[in-house]
């Protein structure tokens, strides 16, 4: 009998990675190597295709390769931060998304290629660990994370991108929910040293988890039950104000700060150096710091400013540029004040409040949350908060029953018709038949809470009889995705039916 292997893929807006568990106790994650030699728990969510739209590379290698060829060709397709293009859109099967150069490709092809790469890389890693016996030794279960703010159509589209043919047994879990599962097992030793608190998430404890990622900030609220399972107290929610929003505000600030399109020229002519500068900014914002932040510019920017004969920057509160009035000095720096750095984070957001996700490594964010909620709440940040979703997803894959109940984010029901009543029905909904006057497009509530109405097409198992057949439908709510079973008669059959939210 084969052992079970749980593999979780956290496909993030900015960074992606995977973790796996070959036994109940041991959980491992891949370390991704940069060109510099350093390694990280995740790799950039970047995917490169050639001029024929054939997959080339993913992650650090895609980014490095693109910068190598970008000066010589514009024919390659390079996608980064593309995950959020599924947010707040009417998702159709033929949806197209744009790369960094505004060239368009089928979204399904982009997502499928990226997810396929992560799956195949995970198999290579596990195969290496098991001496090339992975497929003989293990039954694989794949767990893929999704943002809480995605609707059913985005989740189903994303599920299609998982290539069901190669992801044999796949389930999805909400990112903040996965993080909550992991945080439930936190101890005082597993939180940042400078923030050490007594953490005891025992029965009856209610807590909030805020997953501050690259694209989204997702919030979940759970209570620990007597049997150790989790009960969701409020539907998962959030917004699109993650770490990339901070980066965008900083970039816009630089474009306005430097004169005559200097920064735009730098972005256009030297994208690799700009990426290095933004990487430095990301690490800088995670540092525990107060006062003034300093960022060093690289060689090509120094050469650019040495050719300029006029003013390089505009007077801006909180920003000071050094390096032009002393040409003999090689130093070229940007100083950012505490208030200016905090301004990049300003947007409406928010017994325990747990901060996870890559952006939660920022001490500015942590101190801001601490200031707003302490001492009313104990603000806790795990060690390596960027890995909480991944580890929680593996734990969830091992035991899905750990989430005992959920809150529905939508109101579900059926479209129906009824006898027309002029006192309560709109005239434009009236139809006439041989049986009289009817009102169409009425909504019969089936299950849920207040919220937008979700509609879908239910694909029946047999259609040879057309509409002249009796059908019984049982729809299952409460999981990350919705499933349905359809019963038909003559002959009697029952099959799982596909709820198609991307049909139109």
Encode pLDDT of 401-455 as tens digits: 777 766 666 677 778 888 898 888 888 888 988 888 999 888 877 654 444 444 4
Q: Which helix (H) or strand (E) element contains residue 252?
A: helix 243-257
Residue 451's pLDDT is what?
A: 41
pTM score of the predicted model: 0.67
Residue 117's pLDDT is what?
A: 93
Spatial CA neighbour of 416 closest among 435, 431, 398, 403: 431
Is residue 368 within 8 Å of 388, Cβ to Cβ?
no
Residue 14's pLDDT is what?
A: 87
Q: Determine how many CB atoms are found less than 10 A away from the CB of residue 391.
A: 25
Is residue 322 within 8 Å of 305, Cβ to Cβ?
no
* Helix 299-306, helix 271-286: angle, nearest 10: 120
Best mean pLDDT range from 78-82, 136-140, 338-342: 78-82
Residue 478's pLDDT is what?
A: 54
Radius of gyration of the chain (CA): 26
Residue 504's pLDDT is what?
A: 47
| Helix/strand/coil for 117 | helix
Tokens of 83: 């995950």
Nearest-5° Cα angle at 468, 443 to 421: 30
Best mean pLDDT range from 166-175, 342-351, 437-446: 437-446
Whether the pLDDT of residue 349 is over 90: the answer is: no
Instruction: Using a pLDDT cut of 70, give the percent of the chain over it.
Output: 72
Best mean pLDDT range from 85-94, 120-129, 402-411: 120-129
CA 467 – CA 220 distance, rounded (Å): 42
Tokens of 371: 């200031």
Q: Which residues of 141-173 are buried (b: 16+ CB within 10 A; e: fewer)?
A: bbbbbbbbbbbbbbbbbbbebbbeeebeebbbb
Is residue 411 within 8 Å of 445, Cβ to Cβ?
yes
Q: Which residues lie below 8 Å from residue 328, measured CB to CB, with a gap of 6+?
A: none
Spatial CA neighbour of 21 closest among 141, 124, 114: 141
In this prediction, residue 348 has a pLDDT band, given cuts at 50, 70 and 90, of very low
Domains of the chain by start residue, with CATH: 3-241+351-405 (3.30.420.40), 243-343 (no CATH), 411-447 (no CATH), 455-504 (no CATH)
Q: Which residues lie below 8 Å from residue 44, measured CB to CB, with a gap of 6+?
A: 14, 15, 16, 59, 60, 62, 63, 80
Best mean pLDDT range from 2-6, 61-65, 325-329, 350-354: 61-65
Whether the pLDDT of residue 489 is over 60: the answer is: no
Residue 452's pLDDT is what?
A: 41
Residue 38's pLDDT is what?
A: 67
Is residue 344 within 8 Å of 278, Cβ to Cβ?
no
In this prediction, residue 350 has a pLDDT band, given cuts at 50, 70 and 90, of very low
Whether the pLDDT of residue 278 is over 70: the answer is: yes
In this prediction, residue 310 has a pLDDT band, given cuts at 50, 70 and 90, of low
In this prediction, residue 155 has a pLDDT band, given cuts at 50, 70 and 90, of confident
CA 11 – CA 59 distance, rounded (Å): 11
Helix extents (H) in 131-210 = 134-137, 152-161, 175-183
Q: What is the mean pLDDT of the chain?
A: 77
Tokens of 306: 């040495």
Count of positions (residues) in the chain: 504
Q: Which residues of 225-246 are buried (b: 16+ CB within 10 A; e: fewer)?
A: eeeebbebeebbebbbbbbbbb
Average pLDDT over residues 454-469: 58
| Helix/strand/coil for 108 | helix
Whether the pLDDT of residue 377 is over 80: the answer is: no
Is residue 60 within 8 Å of 44, Cβ to Cβ?
yes
In this prediction, residue 167 has a pLDDT band, given cuts at 50, 70 and 90, of low
150: left (phi over 0), alpha (psi -120 to 50) or beta: beta
Encode pLDDT of 92-118 as tens digits: 778 888 898 889 999 889 999 999 999
Average pLDDT over residues 180-202: 65
Residue 161's pLDDT is what?
A: 67
Residue 453's pLDDT is what?
A: 40
Residue 182's pLDDT is what?
A: 81
Distance of CA 40 to the CA centre of its chain: 18
CA 61 – CA 47 distance, rounded (Å): 9
Least confident range of 195-209, 269-283, 487-501:
487-501
Encode pLDDT of 41-83 as tens digits: 889 999 999 999 999 999 999 998 998 887 777 789 999 988 8
| Helix/strand/coil for 249 | helix
Rounded-to-5 percentages of helix, strand, coil across the chain: 30, 30, 40
């Amino acid at each position: 009998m084969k052992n079970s292997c749980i593999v979780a893929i956290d496909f993030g807006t900015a960074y992606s990675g995977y973790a796996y568990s070959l036994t109940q106790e041991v959980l491992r994650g891949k370390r991704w190597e940069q060109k510099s030699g350093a390694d990280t728990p995740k790799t950039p969510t970047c995917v490169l295709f050639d001029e024929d739209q054939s997959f080339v590379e993913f992650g650090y290698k895609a980014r490095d390769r693109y910068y190598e060829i970008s000066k010589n060709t514009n024919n390659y397709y390079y996608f980064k931060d593309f995950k959020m293009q599924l947010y707040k859109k009417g998702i159709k099967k033929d949806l197209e998304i744009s790369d960094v150069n505004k060239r368009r490709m089928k979204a399904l092809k982009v997502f499928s290629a990226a997810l396929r790469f992560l799956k195949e890389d995970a198999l290579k890693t596990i195969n290496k660990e098991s001496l090339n016996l992975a497929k003989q030794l293990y039954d694989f279960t794949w767990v893929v994370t999704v943002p809480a703010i995605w609707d059913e159509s985005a989740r189903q589209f994303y599920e299609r991108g998982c290539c069901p043919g190669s992801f044999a047994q796949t389930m999805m879990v909400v990112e903040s929910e996965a993080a909550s599962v992991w945080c439930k097992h936190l101890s005082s030793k597993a939180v940042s040293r400078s923030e050490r608190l007594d953490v005891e998430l025992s029965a009856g404890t209610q807590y909030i988890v805020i997953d501050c990622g690259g694209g989204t900030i997702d919030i979940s609220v759970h209570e620990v039950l007597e049997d150790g399972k989790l009960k969701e107290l409020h539907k998962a929610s959030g917004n699109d104000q993650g770490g990339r929003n901070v980066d965008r505000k900083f970039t816009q600030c630089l474009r306005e700060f430097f004169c005559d399109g200097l920064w735009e020229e730098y972005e256009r002519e030297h994208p690799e150096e700009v990426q290095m500068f933004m990487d430095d900014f990301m690490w800088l914002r995670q540092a525990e710091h107060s006062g003034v932040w300093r960022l060093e510019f690289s060689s090509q920017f120094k050469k650019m400013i040495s050719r300029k004969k006029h003013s390089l920057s505009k007077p801006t509160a909180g920003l000071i540029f050094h390096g032009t009035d002393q040409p003999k000095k090689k130093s070229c720096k940007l100083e950012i004040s505490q208030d200016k750095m905090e301004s990049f984070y300003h947007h409406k957001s928010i017994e325990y409040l747990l901060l996870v996700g890559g952006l939660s490594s920022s001490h500015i964010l942590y101190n801001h949350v601490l200031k707003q909620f302490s001492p009313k709440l104990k603000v806790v940040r795990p060690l390596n908060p960027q890995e909480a979703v991944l580890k929680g997803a593996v734990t969830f894959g091992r035991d899905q029953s750990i989430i005992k109940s959920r809150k529905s984010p939508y109101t579900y029901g059926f479209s129906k018709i009824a006898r027309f009543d002029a006192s309560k029905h709109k005239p434009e909904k009236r139809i006439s038949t041989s049986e009289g006057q009817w009102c169409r497009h009425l909504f019969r509530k089936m299950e849920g809470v207040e919220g937008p109405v979700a509609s879908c097409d239910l694909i029946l198992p047999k259609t040879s009889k057309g509409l002249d057949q009796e059908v019984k439908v049982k729809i299952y709510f409460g999981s990350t995705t919705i499933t349905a079973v359809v019963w038909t008669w003559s002959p009697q059959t029952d099959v799982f039916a596909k709820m198609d939210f991307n049909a139109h």
